Chain A
Amino acid sequence: MENMSIKNKKRLIYPGLLILVLGSIFLAQGFGGGRYQISDSLSLFSSSTLSPSERIILFEIRLPRVILSFLVGGSLSLGGAALQGVFQNPLVDPYVLGISSGAALGAVIAILSGVYLGFFTIPLFAFSMALFSAFLVFHLGKVGKKFPLEVLLLAGIGVGFFFSALVSLGMFLAGEDLHQLIFWTMGGFWNSSWREVKMVLPFLIVGLPVLVSFSRELNAFLLGEKVAESLGVEVEKVKKWLLLVVSLLVASAVAVSGVIGFVGLVVPHLIRLLGIRDHRHLLPFSFLLGGGVLLWADTLARTILNPVELPVGIITNLLGVPFFIYLLQKRKRNP
């Protein structure tokens, strides 16, 4: 009976989420200038009557932003779901390998040094430093040929703190450039264009199927590393691959959007609350729902105070924290 209902649920959830996502993109495209206009949404289907500047606004500014926020939200919660699985720890977020502070440090270096190599300067620095910090964490977390999880976790926290301290130092020394650093670390899709979409998409196209292909192994991890090993999972190899793919995915997302909190932590839990723990479904669902959540958070960020715009990171944190507390309360009631 119980199995039956979960099966039914899943049958509903896939098309349900897909409709939700497509509907969200359609609706979000209609929000601009602080209000909703159905004609803007409908322009997705016929755009022949638009003036040049309307065309730029709708298809070069708004649409790439809507798509990018979806892809970044999806990447973050996909990464979060995979890492929570690997670490068997519900409090792990996609930044646990020091990626966010690494990326922030990269952005700080790019802004303070004033190097300009083109529009991609800051994303490039952020991406490289994010990968560097992940690499550093792997290196520090390695014991012999193994990656013990608690050592990795501690190494991640240590590297994260160290890079954060460097970011603070940069901010302290930044003087008149301080606001630029603060804006970046708050996270946002201010000037997103198709270029940023193209930067993130390849990582997702490769990352999503690869991560989903590890679902069986991740499911075995739910029973603990030892049990997984006895079930024939090559634990260390799987860990290495998963961490590598997630690092690339999350680093690319952070590089184009800044540090956006809580999506990657909370969304996988939402899916689990629906009773879905099998990673074959948990991972794609997390991707779809995470994308949808960030898409709406960003729509809110650019609409609520229009024409003034809020950093989307503030919105996700504001909405994420109450949910987080709810999870804690729930945990307290039935430990």
Chain B
Amino acid sequence: MSKKSSIAKSKVVVFVVGLWFFTFTLAWGAQATTIGDDVGREVEIPSPCERIISLSPSNTEIVFALSLGEKLVGVTTYCNYPEEAREKEKVGTLNEINLEKVVELEPDLVLASSLTPPEVVERLGGLGITVFVLDPHSIDEVIGDIEKVGIISGAEDKGQELKEAMEQKIEEVKSKVSHLSPEERPTVFHLIWHEPLWTAGKDTFINEFITLAGGQNVVADLSGYITVDLEEFVRRNPDIITVVENPGEGGDLSYQFLLSDSRLRVVKAIQDHKVFPVDGDIVSRSGPRVVDALYMYACIIHPEIFGEYEYQK
């Protein structure tokens, strides 16, 4: 008998405690909202959000695109776009962050990236600084992240506006190539570095650009960023080659290699003069310029639809 009543009692206790927790979280949730970042952390939205630090070039581009450049107080040494970003205070490189500097700048919000060491994220969080980690893996995720950064930094409307503009541009490209048959979709090889041939397979932004722009990645059977054999490259014989150039640092060695190595003259893209340098910053950053990158690929792959591609140094 006594056993039964104690069970009943404990049931009541559980119920009351549960109810108490429920109402508490409801009340608490109404005051401060949280938002999930790309590595599964729930991040409290800071208010006010007047001082922002960006730990990657793409995050910096997002902040500027949301017209929050004024609030940006710290960036990395790689942040070179837009031009104003160069004048901001530097807090480190991509993976070497000067923690003291970050704390000293008293940020309300730190935008980290997949390259930010997790222990840096943890330590900053432990110091009571709001850290939001961005790690998008597709164009859609980039747009989602821009929307989230808009919400978390109090620029929700601007974020929404940017999102719609980007989606519209993507739709435009998609609809213009949708009628193409597989034979009308040329094969593309993207060269990041030539020694060894380093390229992008599926599950990369490059692959998405090529596919959405009405082309076929010639190494779509491989995954991620990989090095391939020179003979395999010749065997796959792409119609078009895009090659990364890093402006400033004399970074056109790979382009030189493609054009000067006489063995490669059997490759279709090189015979047809379809080797296009692309700006490494634009095609490799998961920021608002992904749609520019997509449009570049559209011009490279289908100039008859989108107009001739022009490379700007």
Contact = CB atoms under 8 A, between A and B. Distances in A.
Interface stretch (A136-144, A171-179, A210-218): A171-179
Given A53-B235, A61-B263, A308-B228, A179 B249 contact: no
Contact of B78 (A33, A53, A175, A308): A175
A72 to B, nearest CB: 16
A60 B251 CA distance: 26
Name A's interface SS: helix
Interface centre among B78, B232, B256, by most A CB within 10 Å?
A: B232
B307 interface: no
Interface centre among B77, B226, B229, B263, by most A CB within 10 Å?
A: B229
A182 B253 CA distance: 16
A306 B253 contact: no
Contacts of A193: 261, 263
B195 interface: yes
Interface in B214-259: 219, 222, 226-232, 234-235, 237, 246, 249-253, 256-257
A62 interface: yes
A114 interface: yes
Interface centre among A53, A119, A306, A308, by most B CB within 10 Å?
A: A308
Contacts of B136: none
Interface string B117-149: 000000000000000000000000000000000
A191 B97 CA distance: 37
Contacts of B197: 190-191
B232 A176 contact: no
A184 B261 CA distance: 19
Given A114-B253, A116-B253, A309-B227, A183 B196 contact: yes
Contact of A114 (B219, B226, B249): B249
Nearest to B236: A307
B196 A190 contact: yes
Contacts of A61: 230-231, 234, 263
A6 to B, nearest CB: 43
Given A32-B231, A116-B256, A177-B251, 20 more contacts: A33-B232, A33-B235, A53-B235, A53-B266, A56-B234, A61-B234, A116-B250, A119-B257, A175-B93, A179-B192, A180-B195, A183-B195, A183-B198, A188-B196, A190-B196, A191-B230, A191-B261, A307-B219, A307-B229, A307-B232
